[in-house]
Structures are given as C-alpha cells and as structure tokens.
Amino acid sequence: MPRQPLHQNRPEKPKNPRRDPVASGERDAAVNRAASHNYFLLEKFEAGIMLSGTEVKSIRAGRANLKDAYGIVKDGELWLLNAHIGPYEHGNIFNHEPLRTRKLLVHKDELRKLIGKTQQKGLTLIPTRIYFKHGRAKCELALARGKQLWDKRETERRKTADAEAKAAIARSRKN
C-alpha cells in the first residue's frame, strides 16, 4: 500500500516564469535612492502617470531614472519634470522624448491638499519610485523638506548606531 503524505497542503500556484517581475508589480521599475539622502520624506502619495506606448515599454525594460526629477502643481494640474525615461530600443519614428514633462493623475482632494502643502516654505514634491500596479504605471511622490549638510551627517550617525546595535544583539543571541 502506498504511503500517504503527512500533511495535505495545496502547493501555491506556480508563477508564470515568462512574466517580468517589473510588469507583474513584484519589483519597482525605478527607485530614487538619493531622495531619502537629500530630503526628509514627510508624506507619500500615489499618482498615475500619463505615458505614451514606447515610454511604458522603456519603463518595463528598466530604462527610467528619477534622480533629478521633481513634481510641480501648475494651473490646477500635477506635473512630473526631469524624469528621464530612455528611448525604447525597438521604437521607430514615434519614439518619445526622454526628458519630456509628464502629467500625473491624482484625485481632486489630494491635489488640493498638495497645493496647500507645497505652498508652505521649504516643501517640495519628490518622486521616490515608479512601479506597476494592475498593469498601470504609478509614481510614488513624497512631500519633502530639504536636508542641510549637518542633517545628512546626523542621519548617517543614526544609521551606523542602529546597525551596530543590531549587530551586537545578533552576536549576543548567537552566543
């Protein structure tokens, strides 16, 4: 008589190996690492991005860069400036311009809130990442205040102190 397994757990549905992790939303398409180094990120918002077809394909291929990008509210609309999305390598004459200004899509109440907050002195909108959610490209914007040099040093000191504390705890648990 064949032996029965001890527990009857259903195996999880295998993921489609051909599906790109960026396209399925498992991994970010672009991340602005410098944002947390140069700014205090106070509050985060999710916004849709109006893109052309070749821009979407370039983002899926990982050719987006948010390093110098920022958001601005102009004429009651939200815009993303200086976000570099490289040209699509298989694009034709209808390929997009890499540094064009792109419209961001948010609800009216969020836009009103952003208008009020960005008019305060020293606050700006910084894109922190671009990702896909249900097949649509989204941009995470952070309301940010710029860091001074001494702020950056303090943040670095805090990070090293936390890392040392975690290492000490791990060493004590090991012994």
Question: Residues 45-97: pLDDT tens digits?
Answer: 899 999 888 888 888 888 888 888 888 888 888 898 998 888 888 877 778 87
Contact between 99 and 118 under an 8 Å Cβ cutoff? The reply is no
Task: Please give the single-letter amino acid code of residue 50.
Answer: M
Taking the model in full, what pTM does it have?
A: 0.72
Residue 4, C-beta contacts closer than 8 angstroms, at least 6 positions apart: none
pLDDT tops 80 at residue 169: yes
CATH topology of domain 30-147: Small Protein B; Chain: A; (2.40.280)
Confidence category of residue 100, pLDDT binned at 50, 70, 90: confident
